[in-house]
């Protein structure tokens, strides 16, 4: 039988979710609701290396490292898989990133005016709708070192079928450098080998943008820019 304090704790969390929504709860409390266990430290142990590590963990890791039962490990894996499927599911109201300017609008406010280079991966579902944007690397004024392994890691973790790669040029000139072109070839080859569609490679700069597919374009219309929390 569950301890009364444990039961009351889960009830409080359930009440908060029902009244305020799940977004207000921290990761550990959400995981405690999923687990439904009296072990208050179990969720913290599972999250000790971050959500990304938990998402990659197999059943053996969950059983050995956390000491949880097979039933609880299965519950966690089922919840993570359901979350992944929800993220990948096509959504009628989510904009499709069909052109270079659509992809550019996602990260323009974040990247175009930076004084240093950053490299990002935009993960997409099969309908080319954005799943997630992930920063892969941060560099200096003229360079940002990235390997194909690093660039595709988020796509592998989230099992995204398509990606676009975006980085910026602080110089204001969006023309790809020789190093950009070399990396583009490596990423195209890696995407083909991994079975991940590489939709485009974009370079953003104050003067405009360059698409490996469509060529050079002026900056996107401000009306088309995608509002994003914590970006800009």
Digit-coded pLDDT (tens) for 130-144: 988 999 999 887 778
Rounded Cα–Cα distance for residues 45 and 28 (Å): 9
User: Residue 3: what pLDDT?
Assistant: 46
Report the percentage of the chain scoring pLDDT > 70. Answer: 84
User: Residue 89: what pLDDT?
Assistant: 61
User: Residue 93: what pLDDT?
Assistant: 63
**CA quadruple 188, 191, 192, 195: dihedral, nearest 10:** -160
User: Residue 224: what pLDDT?
Assistant: 56
- Report, as an integer, the average pLDDT of 158-163: 94
On average, the pLDDT of the chain sits at 83
Read off the pLDDT of residues 167-222 as tens digits, 9 standing for 90 and up.
999 999 999 999 999 999 999 999 999 999 999 999 999 989 999 999 999 887 76
Fold exhibited by the domain 100-224: Cytidine Deaminase; domain 2 (3.40.140)
Specify the pTM: 0.63
Residue 33 pLDDT exceeds 60: yes
Could you tell me the two tokens for 170? 């602080």
Give the confidence band of 91 by pLDDT, cuts at 50, 70, 90.
low
Q: Is 127 exposed, middle or buried (0-12, 13-18, 19+ CB in 10 A)?
A: middle
User: Residue 18: what pLDDT?
Assistant: 81
Residue 228 pLDDT exceeds 60: no
Read off the pLDDT of residues 58-80 as tens digits, 9 standing for 90 and up.
788 887 766 778 888 888 888 88
């Amino acid at each position: 039988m569950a301890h009364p304090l444990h039961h009351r704790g889960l009830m409080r969390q359930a009440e908060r979710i029902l009244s305020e929504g799940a977004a207000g709860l921290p990761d550990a409390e959400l995981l405690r609701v999923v687990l439904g266990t009296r072990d208050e430290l179990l969720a913290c142990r599972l999250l000790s290396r971050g959500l990304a590590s938990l998402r990659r963990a197999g059943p053996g890791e969950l059983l050995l490292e956390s000491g949880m039962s097979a039933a609880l490990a299965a519950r966690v894996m089922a919840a993570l898989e359901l979350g992944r499927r929800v993220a990948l599911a096509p959504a009628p109201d989510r904009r499709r990133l069909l052109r270079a300017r659509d992809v550019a609008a996602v990260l323009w406010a974040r990247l175009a005016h930076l004084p240093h280079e950053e490299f990002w991966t935009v993960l997409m579902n099969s309908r080319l709708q954005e799943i997630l944007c992930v920063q892969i690397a941060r560099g200096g004024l003229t360079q940002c070192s990235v390997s194909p392994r690093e660039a595709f890691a988020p796509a592998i973790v989230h099992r995204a079928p398509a990606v676009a790669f975006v980085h910026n040029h602080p110089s204001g000139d969006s023309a790809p450098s020789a190093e950009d072109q070399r990396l583009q070839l490596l990423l195209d080859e890696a995407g083909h080998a991994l079975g991940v569609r590489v939709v485009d490679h974009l370079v953003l700069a104050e003067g405009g943008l360059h698409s490996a597919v469509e060529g050079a374009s002026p900056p996107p219309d401000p009306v088309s820019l995608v509002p994003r929390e914590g970006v800009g």
